[in-house]
Chains A and B, each alone.
Chain A
Amino acid sequence: MPFKRMPQTFTASIGTVTIGTGEKAVTMGGENVLPLYSFDAPIANRPLIGVEVSDLGVDNTLPELAAFYAGADTVVEQAKRAATMPGADFLAIRLESADPNGANTPVEESVALCKAIADAVDCPLVIEGSKNAEKDSTLLAKVAEALQGKNVLLMSAKEENYKSICAAAVLAYGQKMGAESAVDINLAKQLNVLIDKMGVKGENVAMNVGSAAAGYGFEYVASTMDRVKAAALGQNDNMLQMPIITPVSSEAWSVKEAIVSEEDEPEWGPTEARGVEMEIATAAACLAGGSNAVILKHPKSVATIAAFISAII
């Protein structure tokens, strides 16, 4: 029997979210096929790659990473360098030091840093908060105010603090927001419904449905993403049609394989190479699952994933 090609396209499609301004603005989402199924129909916007820069500075224990950032001694300089990384579409500033259980950098300082970076680079920006819901609700609101007109994406609103991020980030200052839930389709949907009820339109929201490093319970991530895309496309569920953005580097670089030194595990080889592999494996899995954007940190991972995307789409 001859093979008959049956393209599987959907009448529904994933929504789009645009970040940044001017020529460098980028758009994620918009496809009406399953993730990476470019053989069924053209994919409206290829998945995006963001480069993460932490306000704690570059991890100098990783020689290749340190070499990439050589000479860039301030976070602003590092951000400028990161913006030149081949394959990167946007910059993700991670305000790690703002965590009250960590360095607890005052809000004004974090805001000043974001402002300085926004003035120094012209690529689209994603600002990641401290992951502390209470701190982020004030921090991200102030960042939104300071970066008015830059069309940045603020990550992330959770169930505990979505109200202030909706009100400040999107309604008051016209930015975009991430909606973060913990690997559960219903929690993701519930948060989107609550955000919608605040008067925030879907075009301003990207979902972070949660992630895990490959091999660390990733099957939950895979099943959640599968179901989100199936409901969004197959059932035209508009409360699950927001594009998905997944911060990969923070997960991938914190697991054993990426941390344990070569001295402790000589047969595993160099630490940095392992971290890069974890980052690439996780990012590729996320993209196959349905992420419309991934956030990475290592130049090698960015180059590899960029090549992967252009080869497959």
Chain B
Amino acid sequence: MGLFDRVFRGSDEMYAKAEQSVDEIIAKVGPDAPMNMPNTGYFLACNYAYLGRKITKVGELKEALADVRSMMTKEQRTRDVFLSGIGTAIAAEIIEACKYVETETPYEGTLYHGHLTDAEVRELGVPLVTGDIPGFVVIIDEAPSDEEAAALIKGYQSRGIFVFLIGGIIEQAARMKIGMGFPVRVVPVGEDIWAVGHVISLVVRAAMIFGAIQPGDFAGFQDYTFHRIRAFVNAFAPLRDITVACGGGAIAMGFPVITNETENIWRVPKSLIVQPNTQEFIETSLEARDIKIKVTKIDIPVAFSSAFEGEIIRRPDMQIEVDGSRLDCCELVCTKEASEIEDHKIILEGPDFDEFPVGTKISMCYIAEVAGKNMQSDFEPVMERKIHNYFNCIESVYHTGQRDMIRIRVSKSAFEAGFRARHFGEVLYAKLMSDFGAVVDKCQVRICTIPEKNAEYRALANKTYDARDARLASLTDESVDVFYTCILCQSFSPSHVCIVTPERLGLCGAVSWLDAKATNELEPDGPCQIVPKDRPIDEDLGTYEDVDEAVNKYSHGALEHVTLYSIMQDPMTSCGCFECICGIEPMSNGVCIVNREHTGITPMGMSFSELASMTGGGVQTPGFMGHGKHFISSKKFLKAEGGVGRIVWMPAALKETVRTRLDATAKDLYGIDNFTDMIADETVVEGDPEALMNFLTEKNHPVLSMEPLM
């Protein structure tokens, strides 16, 4: 016999019981007796929701049963199984409702809660909608032992999951003295499987209240419960047919069923999951229903706050030092498959801090292994860069450097408070899960203090760093499918929109294309929105219809056209936080670039701040533009005007920053070696264009043979 037949048999069983209950109650009070569930405006909610029936008289239960019967079609198709399962839940509600005909409190004096009021639906519904309660579980029947029952319930409680209990597990919980009731979020619903009707009644009322789903809109309820209600079922073996039928209903609503039954059961991926090891129920269930637990506090013995970011630990105060300058150390975030890691597991390999003498310099590697459906390896460096900030927020701990050049000091006071190696893991876990929850579903941290092993970890990490650098270097505007907007600065520069491309990072220098991509993923309605590049107009100018549409939309109509690679035609606007300003120098037909740090005058006769007033504020001034330092050495820099060969003047410090990459670009574009040396700086020319011309002529600067700019 197959799974479908078990569902159908169970449905029949539930239906028969419902029919019997209804017949009995009609015989007793007559068909015209009122049928009211207490404290609800939704009648018998399952009947109201799925069948559109407002039942107010006992006799109407009979008509509802006819509808239920018609749902139990017994065709060997998934649709029929689902329908039958939901019919089973409606029948269960009818059985329970019969108990409420003669009294409003049929469960008084028992362990059982029974019907849930509308007030309770709202009380549970609000935190479910906001995510403060990450989900709820319905646990059915007896666990293998009382202790396991208690451990399971407490495990869910500690994760903030709301628990409904049905059947034998309630007595187990009572024997283990587990506090039960709505306020403690463990509700013993009822002793028989039909008590499930009360839970489904809650589910459909939540859909009507919070989702405005209309009674009778069967598909609407399916959609709402599947997408919005994060519920699941744990059913203990042995599974009876009637439980399987209820499970069919749960699955139809989108709630996976996890069971330890191994006989006569058929696995259905993501829906009917066999987990023989009941200790694993929680982990398996949360993963099946895509529930992420919110991390609200960091489990460390010292404080954690940005107030400690600037703290410095002097040598005499130091308990232990992780010294990446001499020993093998590294920090790494790497992506794993969900099945490879265990959430919140912190693995310490080697001795802990209390096994080293005071003041020891140790080798330590820590690797945050993350998994998530939306995780991409491009986000690894974005997360990794935050580690510096996270560790510095730990009281009496300081961190400098990145990758395999880190130095961490843990002070004596932190050590005495109980701070140990694994607490770095706790911090990484909590912060990565909360800051990057949109992409990280699971996180495990590996910490190693064994020098030999760390040599291996470091070598491994270096491979990853190299691969990332290669990826960054290979990222060109041509190699990606989309650009991003950044409108973070619009609060003070209302019409400015940055278009961030791999080669042209945000003009502030702080938002690279990868950052923008990560921001878009983490905050889909935030400042970085996707700009497709499907409709190029002129690739030399860097004009796209898509880009024009985006700047028009995000500047609210203030801008119509922007070029990515030209300073003369529709140059990209600037907010005011540009790292550099580039402006044309008419005598040489070249451009001068000045960075914010440079206070002196340029050959254009203006200083950075004077130029800034012409360039900022979201206005397009042909001949002037703001940009990031990184853009200078790009092949796209002034591509429309002939490229980096236009650069005639830069402050010496800026020249040194960009020299290596700029020389390489000039070599590629013009075959010129040491191009940076042809560019004048404040040591040879300040405000005098004549002197500049003399210098350029002497160096045979390529700009002298270029077309006039205007």
Given contacts A167-B130, A172-B125, are A185 and B209 in contact (CB under 8 A)? Answer: no
A164 touches B209 (CB 8 A): no
CA distance A190 to B127 in the complex (A): 22
B210 touches A172 (CB 8 A): yes
Q: Which residues of the partner chain B approach A230 to less than 8 Å between Cβ atoms? A: 556-557
B467 within 8 A of A: no
Among B131, B132, B491, point to the contact of A186 (Cβ < 8 A): B491
B122 touches A172 (CB 8 A): yes
Given contacts A199-B210, A230-B556, are A187 and B491 in contact (CB under 8 A)? Answer: yes
B525 touches A167 (CB 8 A): no
Given contacts A172-B122, A184-B491, are A199 and B131 in contact (CB under 8 A)? Answer: no
Mind listing 21 A-B residue pairs with CB under 8 Å? A163-B129, A164-B126, A167-B129, A167-B130, A168-B122, A171-B125, A171-B129, A171-B209, A173-B122, A184-B491, A185-B490, A186-B487, A186-B490, A190-B525, A190-B526, A193-B525, A197-B525, A199-B212, A223-B494, A230-B556, A231-B557
In the complex, per-residue mask of B203-227: 1 if CB is within 8 Å of any chain A CB, else 0 = 0000001111000000000000000
A77 within 8 A of B: no
B31 within 8 A of A: no
CA distance A234 to B526 in the complex (A): 23
A235 within 8 A of B: yes
Within 8 A of B (CB), among A208-247: 223-224, 227, 230-231, 234-235
CA distance A141 to B132 in the complex (A): 14
Given contacts A171-B209, A172-B210, A193-B525, are A183 and B491 in contact (CB under 8 A)? Answer: yes
B527 within 8 A of A: yes
> CB-nearest residue of chain B relative to A137?
B130
B126 touches A141 (CB 8 A): yes
Within 8 A of B (CB), among A119-146: 141, 145
Nearest Cβ in chain B — how far from A177, in angstroms?
A: 14
> CB-nearest residue of chain A relative to B125?
A172
Interface size class of A (residues with CB under 8 A): 20 to 34
A194 within 8 A of B: yes
5 nearest A-B residue pairs (beta carbon): A163-B130, A167-B129, A184-B491, A172-B122, A171-B210
Nearest Cβ in chain A — how far from B698, in angstroms?
A: 50
CA distance A194 to B129 in the complex (A): 13
A184 touches B490 (CB 8 A): yes
4 more CB-based (< 8 A) A-B contacts, given A167-B129, A171-B210, A190-B525 = A164-B127, A166-B130, A172-B210, A173-B122
B129 touches A186 (CB 8 A): no
Q: Which residues of the partner chain B approach A66 to less than 8 Å between Cβ atoms? A: none
A198 within 8 A of B: yes
> CB-nearest residue of chain B relative to A231?
B556
> CB-nearest residue of chain B relative to A190?
B525
CA distance A234 to B553 in the complex (A): 12
Q: Which residues of the partner chain B approach A224 to less than 8 Å between Cβ atoms? A: 494
A198 touches B129 (CB 8 A): yes
Nearest Cβ in chain B — how far from A165, in angstroms?
A: 9
B556 touches A227 (CB 8 A): yes
> CB-nearest residue of chain A relative to B491?
A184
CA distance A26 to B353 in the complex (A): 67
- Hey, which bits of chain B sit against chain A, CB under 8 A? 122, 125-127, 129-132, 209-212, 487, 490-491, 494, 525-527, 556-557
A185 touches B556 (CB 8 A): yes
Nearest Cβ in chain A — how far from B257, in angstroms?
A: 27
CA distance A235 to B487 in the complex (A): 18
Nearest Cβ in chain A — how far from B669, in angstroms?
A: 38
> CB-nearest residue of chain B relative to A226?
B494
> CB-nearest residue of chain B relative to A183?
B491
Nearest Cβ in chain B — how far from A121, in angstroms?
A: 26
Q: Which residues of the partner chain A approach B130 to less than 8 Å between Cβ atoms? A: 163-164, 166-167
Within 8 A of B (CB), among A6-27: none
B210 touches A167 (CB 8 A): yes
CA distance A234 to B552 in the complex (A): 13
B131 touches A163 (CB 8 A): yes
> CB-nearest residue of chain A relative to B523?
A190
Q: Which residues of the partner chain B approach A166 to less than 8 Å between Cβ atoms? A: 129-130
> CB-nearest residue of chain B relative to A197?
B525
The listed residue with most B CB atoms (<10 A of its CB), out of A163, A164, A167, A184, is A167
A167 touches B125 (CB 8 A): yes
Nearest Cβ in chain B — how far from A37, in angstroms?
A: 19
In the complex, per-residue mask of A174-204: 1 if CB is within 8 Å of any chain B CB, else 0 = 0000000001111100100110011100000
A235 touches B556 (CB 8 A): yes
CA distance A172 to B212 in the complex (A): 10
CA distance A131 to B557 in the complex (A): 34
Nearest Cβ in chain A — how far from B127, in angstroms?
A: 8
Nearest Cβ in chain B — how far from A304, in angstroms?
A: 31
Q: Which residues of the partner chain A approach B126 to less than 8 Å between Cβ atoms? A: 141, 164, 167-168, 172
Given contacts A186-B527, A193-B525, are A235 and B210 in contact (CB under 8 A)? Answer: no
CA distance A59 to B177 in the complex (A): 55
Nearest Cβ in chain B — how far from A175, in angstroms?
A: 13
Nearest Cβ in chain A — how far from B513, in angstroms?
A: 20
Nearest Cβ in chain B — how far from A120, in angstroms?
A: 25
Nearest Cβ in chain A — how far from B295, in angstroms?
A: 17
Q: Which residues of the partner chain A approach B211 to less than 8 Å between Cβ atoms? A: 199
CA distance A32 to B322 in the complex (A): 65
B494 touches A227 (CB 8 A): yes
The listed residue with most B CB atoms (<10 A of its CB), out of A166, A172, A198, is A172
> CB-nearest residue of chain A relative to B555?
A227
CA distance A224 to B209 in the complex (A): 35
> CB-nearest residue of chain B relative to A192?
B525
Q: Which residues of the partner chain B approach A164 to less than 8 Å between Cβ atoms? A: 126-127, 130, 132
Nearest Cβ in chain B — how far from A38, in angstroms?
A: 25
Q: Which residues of the partner chain A approach B527 to less than 8 Å between Cβ atoms? A: 186
Nearest Cβ in chain A — how far from B703, in angstroms?
A: 40
CA distance A241 to B529 in the complex (A): 21
Nearest Cβ in chain A — how far from B282, in angstroms?
A: 25
CA distance A166 to B527 in the complex (A): 23
CA distance A183 to B494 in the complex (A): 11
The listed residue with most A CB atoms (<10 A of its CB), out of B211, B494, B527, is B494
CA distance A224 to B494 in the complex (A): 8
Within 8 A of B (CB), among A234-282: 234-235
CA distance A234 to B555 in the complex (A): 13
Q: Which residues of the partner chain A approach B212 to less than 8 Å between Cβ atoms? A: 171, 199
> CB-nearest residue of chain B relative to A168?
B126
Q: Which residues of the partner chain B approach A199 to less than 8 Å between Cβ atoms? A: 210-212
CA distance A235 to B526 in the complex (A): 20
> CB-nearest residue of chain B relative to A198?
B129
CA distance A211 to B130 in the complex (A): 28
CA distance A183 to B376 in the complex (A): 34
Nearest Cβ in chain A — how far from B700, in angstroms?
A: 49
Q: Which residues of the partner chain B approach A163 to less than 8 Å between Cβ atoms? A: 129-131
Given contacts A164-B132, A167-B210, A190-B526, are A235 and B557 in contact (CB under 8 A)? Answer: yes
Q: Which residues of the partner chain B approach A167 to less than 8 Å between Cβ atoms? A: 125-127, 129-130, 210
Nearest Cβ in chain A — how far from B523, in angstroms?
A: 8
CA distance A145 to B130 in the complex (A): 16
A145 touches B122 (CB 8 A): yes
Nearest Cβ in chain B — how far from A220, in angstroms?
A: 8
Q: Which residues of the partner chain B approach A235 to less than 8 Å between Cβ atoms? A: 556-557
Q: Which residues of the partner chain B approach A171 to less than 8 Å between Cβ atoms? A: 125, 129, 209-210, 212
Nearest Cβ in chain B — how far from A11, in angstroms?
A: 16
> CB-nearest residue of chain B relative to A237?
B556
CA distance A230 to B127 in the complex (A): 37
Nearest Cβ in chain B — how far from A87, in angstroms?
A: 34
CA distance A198 to B212 in the complex (A): 12
> CB-nearest residue of chain A relative to B122?
A172
Nearest Cβ in chain B — how far from A108, in angstroms?
A: 15
Q: Which residues of the partner chain B approach A190 to less than 8 Å between Cβ atoms? A: 525-526
Q: Which residues of the partner chain A approach B557 to less than 8 Å between Cβ atoms? A: 230-231, 234-235
The listed residue with most A CB atoms (<10 A of its CB), out of B211, B212, B491, is B491
CA distance A193 to B210 in the complex (A): 17
Q: Which residues of the partner chain B approach A186 to less than 8 Å between Cβ atoms? A: 487, 490-491, 527
Nearest Cβ in chain A — how far from B464, in angstroms?
A: 34
